[in-house]
Amino acid sequence: MTGSNMTLDQILIEAFALMFLYATPFLFAALGEVFVQRSGVLNLGVEGMMLMGAFSAIYTVSEKGLGQEPLVGLLVAIITGGLLGLAMAVVSVTFKAEQGISGIGFTLFGLGLSSLLFKTLAGGVMTAQGRGFGALSIPVLSDIPIIGDIFFNQNVLVYVAFALVPISVWLLNKTSWGLKIRAVGQNPAAADAMGVNVNRVRYSTVILGGILAGVAGASLSIAVTPIFQENMTAGRGFIAVALVYFGGWSPWRVMAGALLFSIANNLQIWAQILNLRIGGTAIPPNLLIMAPYILTIAVLVFARQRKRLEPAALTKPFERGEN
């Protein structure tokens, strides 16, 4: 069965299988940003951190680079993202710079540096085919017809990303660290009065956010696809930040948002290749390309309760005695 001969359920199976794979980078980055924003900081530098994570991972793994195992590549991406997160924390928390602007600055920095390194170290072409993270079939479960392929025959990092969702929920709601994060994001003055070191908590979340952004980038370059190209994130970092708002700062709903966006995007590709028509006229490809973004905005419009879930202290630097 090929192309236009495929039935709707066959198409949906393929679409769902790819949905999880391509949702992974969004999920890593968005989950990181959940922690950051819940603590009251806005990190718009996710895109740049993803790019640096992507490049450092593939350079470590590729034969043309350091030729290491994928886990080493992941570790390098973690360190890279963590360092950038640390820098962002210094700028936003200690220097109390305007967070939106400093975030954009980090994005531009990450874009420029990754492109420069890509050109000088890799000569403009770098592939890690066969050397990155591969698919991992869960024994027994992957043999289940239909469901097996969609859920249990995915890339290693896909499992990690989705496992992070309940872990994030647990961290935020069941640990003291999580409590501190939420307190600092809602009312840093009160938290400070209770003896919580507001700035240290924010440092920890922003560094974590950087780490997860780095991992998100690595997932793009050594898992989802085994290549790097300049600016390959193509705005995914910003989509991830939008998904945090979309998901009301809750990891489960953020995951839902990532999956929704990803399935919508994959279905529009199917719509293009199957030459989908409405009443006889072909849908212009530009319209289909826009579809997932429009869908996300539409859902946002109807989910009006988002604003009240926003951490009250989001984007406000903390100065003891000022708030």
Q: What backbone phi and psi angles, to 5 degrees, belong to 155?
A: -65, 150
Residues 36-65 that bind another protein (CB under 8 A): none
4 binds another protein (CB under 8 A): yes
CB of 252 to another protein, least distance (A): 25
Of the candidates 16, 25, 41, 131, which one interacts with another protein according to CB under 8 A?
A: 25
Q: What per-residue string of b and e applies to 204-228 under the rule 16 or more CB within 10 Å gives b?
A: bbbbbbbbbbbbbbbbbbbbbbbbb
Rounded Cα–Cα distance for residues 223 and 154 (Å): 10
Which residue matches tokens 């769902």? 16
Out of 67, 100, 166, 285, name the contact with another protein by CB under 8 A: 285
In angstroms, the CA 88 to CA 98 distance is 11
Closer residue to another protein (CB): 119 or 174:
119
Neighbours of 117 (CB within 10 A): 15
Identify which of residues 197 and 275 has a Cβ nearer to another protein in the complex: 275
Question: What is the helix (H) or strand (E) element at residue 300, kind and residue range?
Answer: helix 285-302
Contact pick of 232, 242, 263, 313 for another protein (by CB under 8 A): 232
Question: 3-class SS at 155?
Answer: strand
Tell me the number of residues near another protein by CB under 8 A: 45
From candidates 193, 234, 298, 309, binder to another protein by CB under 8 A: 234
Which residues, in sequence order, are CB contacts of 135 under 8 Å at separation 6+?
153, 154, 155, 156
Selected from 101, 141, 289, 298, the binder of another protein by CB under 8 A is: 289
Least separation in angstroms between residue 106's CB and another protein is: 18
Does position 119 interact with another protein (CB under 8 A)? The reply is yes
By CB under 8 A, residue 315 contacts another protein: no
Q: In sequence order, what are the residues at sequence separation of 6 or more whose Cβ sits closer than 8 angstroms to the Cβ of residue 298?
A: none
Pull the structure tokens for residue 255.
Answer: 């995951």
Residues 236 to 275 in contact with another protein, rule: CB under 8 A:
236, 265-266, 269-270, 272-275
Nearer to another protein, 40 or 292 (CB): 292
30 binds another protein (CB under 8 A): no
Residue 16 CB, nearest approach to another protein (Å): 11
Whole-number Å distance between alpha carbons of 185 and 45: 19
- State the residues that interact with another protein by CB under 8 A: 1-4, 6, 11, 14-15, 18, 22, 25, 115, 119, 123-125, 127, 129, 220, 224-232, 234, 236, 265-266, 269-270, 272-275, 280-282, 285-286, 289-290
